[in-house]
Amino acid sequence: MRITARPSRGARLVAASAIALLTLASCTAPEPPSPSTAAEALLEPRIVASDLDAPWSVAFYGDTPLVSERDSARILELDADGNAREVAVVEGVAPRGEGGLLGIAVRDGYLYAYFTADEENRIERFELRGEAGSLALGEAETVLEGIPAAGNHNGGRIAFGPDGLLYATAGDAGESGNAQDPGSLAGKILRVTATGAVPDDNPFPGSPVYSFGHRNPQGLAWAPDGTLYASEFGQNTWDELNAIRAGGNYGWPEAEGIAGDSGFIDPVQQWAPGDASPSGIAVAGDDLYVANLRGERLRRIPLADPTTSTELAVGRYGRLRDAVVAPDGSLWVLTNNTDGRGDPEPGDDRLLAFDLPR
């Protein structure tokens, strides 16, 4: 078997630039840029912060960005120059494999954190105290516990919806049967109040389960019309973008990708895992953006037709974990090259800010 070493991102960029120069030199009149090339030109980011350690999620407390680090269990705050300050180390986090301190969200003066503990995944909240530059966390309050955990498929994204309720993605914890088990919180999208109570209008009375049949969903975002989108890791065939309906069954493990089975809800878009592994997603203007890990690219999906997409920044920044809209309207994207599966280069991991076309 012949093994060929994969060139670094820097080497790939140099090679790509050289090829581009040779191509231009050989042409008497260069052709107009393709739509995808024009889109690339609009997406030249600035570096907000660097040297982060397996970062997983970004949230804003006012104008102050907060970042979670999976393995160190640290919550960091960033100043205007991108300097990181440790706010706290979340107690009870037990990092292993893909587990650890995962998604964070901020609401009404509280920081919410989804993390892997010794025996479970759970969500806790902490009062945010102090001012920017000297933030601290109050005592932990349990919001939701008993979510199955494993070395992989932990889900982990949390976000507040336009209804003011907290949504969380939970993976199947490596046991595919969990996804179709109504009594398990694994393989689900969950919905609770800010304090963990089950809303009266949840589709299954008394249960935080909002939708089921998921393998490892990792992104949540709402369109202006209220549609909830979720990104999901498939197994070997298809990764997915799903439009989530209350009580909907999204097929796993019976179906992966578009199955055309009336018993399941098909994804609105699917991709080969080698081009995707979609994690954090964000809605900005008329588009939805998807950060991809294995695929090392950012996808822009028009909300007017979510069956289509444009690929951006392919291979330029390595693995991409999260995408979030900053208070100034720019799109912030976390790289994730230090998570044990990436190809870290000096300065990794980074938080990048893309100024989007208006």
Average pLDDT, the chain: 90
Inform me whether the pLDDT recorded for 358 exceeds 90. no
In whole angstroms, what is the distance from residue 4 CA to residue 285 CA?
A: 42
Least-confidence region, from 6-15, 41-50, 98-107: 6-15
C-alpha 241/C-alpha 264 separation (Å) is 14
Please state the rounded mean pLDDT for residues 41-47. Answer: 76
**Token match 């966390």: residue?**
137
Structure tokens at 109: 């003066």
Q: Is the pLDDT of residue 43 over 80?
A: no
Report, as an integer, the average pLDDT of 35-39.
44
For the chain, give the number of residues.
358
CA distances from 186 to 154, 168, 181, 235 (A): 8, 11, 8, 16
Q: Using an 8 Å Cβ cutoff, are 294 and 272 in contact? A: no
Stretch (H or E) spanning 36:
helix 35-41
Predicted local confidence at residue 44, as pLDDT = 85
Q: In the prediction, which pLDDT does 307 show?
A: 97
| Cα–Cα distance measured from residue 155 to residue 186, given in angstroms and rounded to the nearest whole number | 9
Distance CA 233, CA 155 (A): 9
DSSP code at position 299: E
Token pair 């991991």 in the structure block, residue: 349
Q: What is the mean pLDDT of residues 331-346?
A: 97
Question: Cis peptide before 208, with omega less than 30 degrees from 0?
Answer: no
Residue range 186-211, pLDDT digits in tens: 999 999 999 999 999 999 999 999 99
User: What is the three-class DSSP state of 8?
Assistant: coil
The pLDDT value recorded for residue 10 is 54
Domains contained in the chain, CATH given: 272-358 (2.40.10)
Supply the Cα-derived Rg of the chain in whole angstroms: 20
Query: Residue 335 is which amino acid?
Result: T
State pLDDT tens for residues 144-185: 999 999 999 999 999 999 999 999 999 999 999 999 999 999
